[in-house]
Amino acid sequence: MPDPIFVDAAVAVFEPAARTASPPDFFRNQPAVGLHLIINVTAAPGGGQTLTPTLLGVERFGEAYPLLIGAPITATGVYVLKIGPGLPAIPNVSTPDRLPSVWGLRMAHSGAGAWTYSVSANLHNG
């Protein structure tokens, strides 16, 4: 039986809203061992447009680097990216890495169509 995940903090990354362009990158200085990043897409523009999430780490001098790049999203639904020790390495879904103390998120829009989504993160230390 897997160990339970203890949620130490729930963070609102992007509030629910319609967006026609990539929002500014989100950064958070909140140490944790891992996280579940929950993307809730309630409206998608269609026409082959995509929304691509990238979970970022930030090195000592402020440069962001990718920790986990999610698969391009094309439709409504709930999508989850996971990072934390003991998780399986599944491309575009999860990585067994530890979350750095400064982490972030980039949501890349491929076109000008309106996407409606929210993003939250459950941080854990267990």
CA dihedral 113, 110, 74, 44 (to 10 degrees): -20
Does the pLDDT value for residue 82 go beyond 80? yes
**Please, what are the domains in the chain?**
7-124 (2.60.120.1110)
Provide the whole-model pTM: 0.89
Rounded CA separation 98/86 (Å): 10
Those residues with Cβ within 8 angstroms of residue 34's Cβ, 6 or more apart along the chain or in another chain: 5, 82, 83, 84, 85, 87, 98, 99, 123, 124
In terms of Cα–Cα distance, which of 94, 90, 106 is closest to 25?
106
Give the least confident one: 4-18, 47-61, 85-99, 112-126.
4-18
- Looking at residue 22, its pLDDT comes to 87
